[in-house]
Structure 1
Amino acid sequence: MTTLPPLSTINEAGSSSSPITVTLSLLLEPSSVLLHRVVPEVHKLLPDRAPFASYADLIDVTFQVIPTLDVKEKAEFIAGHPRIGETKNLSNLSAKEQGATQTTSSTPPEVLARLGHLNACYEKKYPGLRYITFVNGRSRAAIVEEMEDKLGFEHSLSPTDPPVESLDPVDVEGEDWMAELERAIVDVGKIAKSRLAGLGVE
């Protein structure tokens, strides 16, 4: 069972194993950027503010820090989340959200294959980004349609159409690319708040 450090301890500054680090790694997924850039900046804010009133308060403060990261760091931050449809090497919370804890028959193999293809297509179109979405209890089949709409594809279960190599990438740090990066960051915040609710805490 996944549990968070006691709320009273997250106000303590400390090392990479500090309660804030453990809490944010559970709620946001661990990454080098989270550990080495975000957590230290959150720790720096502690002397100038009242103790965190809730875990949600900690998330809100964290998402005041994230906009101060550079673009590359933001992209690395969202890449801490697994790809939609992945079934291996997931954290307990990601596995629960993606349905990997259900029986293997819960998601047809053709849906998983389509998700794998759509992830590859997305990452070709948006170099350096990973598709992140707030699943919010939806099925993987529903996410397939969402990704197809995002990419401008017709709905299909083809594992190969359209070919990845046929796609033209958008400009890195261009308007479309930046919009996707910022949308993904917002959804990571929604995922974190949803995880709190799922753990029965605020």
Structure 2
Amino acid sequence: MELPSLEAIRSSSSNESPLAFTLASLLEPSSVLLQTLVPQLYAKLKNSSSLVKSYTQLIDLAIEQVRTWDQNLQAQFISGHPRIGETKNLSTFSAKEQGVNHRRPTATPTPPDILARLAHLNAYYERRYPKLVYIVFVNGRSREEIVRVLENHLGLEHSLSMDEPPLDAAVPVEIESQKWLDELERAVEAVGLIAKSRLVALGVE
């Protein structure tokens, strides 16, 4: 994949623009990204006397803009990312990060029990934090390692059970409470870290 030039991202704010392509590739495509972030960022870039000097700076500017949104829009933004362990309908970057290669299956596929555990933990998390999905910067860690990371994050014992603890044991955190807002902030930051790791994979800054 090759990103448009930094000069080109100021050319248009349409859904097919270089800016939209760049942001959707690095941050994951979503309706809120295309309908809200792209126009807002385009307006900032267009009205700025200086061009962003790096893609890293563009990501920082995008995350800074997302942080100005209300909590509902921010939650929609992070929901553009696939859940950890998903294998279908993934972007090019997400497929690589999730270890999915439909043309050449990985030599060491994730065991079904790990995928099942991740699915249960994702569901448990989403019951615990209504309107949010679990986002984490994987940074080369395996899905087995992420299982433990998510269990620790939720304060759960390590297990490979597909249904323990039961979902109804997850006490929902009140939406817009400080704990919920802290989790939302952590997730938005993680999206930025993931985007910057994608730049590293592309060999650009």
**Structures share fold, TM-score greater than 0.5:** yes
Partner of 1:93: 93
The structural deviation recorded for 1:35 is 0.8
Change (3 A) 1:176 1:12: same
Q: Which structure has more helix as a fraction of its residues?
A: 1
Partner of 2:16: 17
Off by >3 Å, runs of 4+ in structure 1: none
**Are 2:68 and 1:65 aligned?**
no
What's the CA shift string for 1:95-135, capped at 9, x where partnerless?
A: 11111225274211100000000000000000000000000
The structural deviation recorded for 1:176 is 1.1
Residues 13 and 38 in structure 2, CA contact (< 8 A), matched pair in contact too: no
Q: Which runs of 5+ in 2 are unaligned?
A: none
* Paired residue total: 201
Residues 75 and 184 in structure 2, CA contact (< 8 A), matched pair in contact too: yes
The structural deviation recorded for 1:6 is 2.3
Partner of 1:111: 114
CA RMSD across the alignment = 1.2
Partner of residue 173 from structure 1, selected from 158, 172, 176: 176
Counterparts of 1:1-202 in structure 2 under 5 Å? 2-46=1-45, 47-101=47-101, 102-103=105-106, 105-202=108-205
Output the amino acid matched with 1:41: Q
Q: Which runs of 5+ in 1 are unaligned?
A: none
Output the amino acid matched with 1:35: L
The structural deviation recorded for 1:8 is 2.3
The structural deviation recorded for 1:85 is 0.3
What's the CA shift string for 1:144-187, capped at 9, x where partnerless?
A: 00110011110000000000012210101111111110000000
CA distance in 2, matches of 1:158, 1:15: 46
Residues 13 and 39 in structure 2, CA contact (< 8 A), matched pair in contact too: no
The structural deviation recorded for 1:63 is 1.6
CA distance in 1, matches of 2:93, 2:194: 10
CA distance in 1, matches of 2:107, 2:15: 36
Output the TM-score relative to the length of structure 1: 0.96
Output the amino acid matched with 1:45: K
CA distance in 1, matches of 2:28, 2:107: 24
Residues 11 and 52 in structure 1, CA contact (< 8 A), matched pair in contact too: no
Residues 84 and 135 in structure 2, CA contact (< 8 A), matched pair in contact too: yes
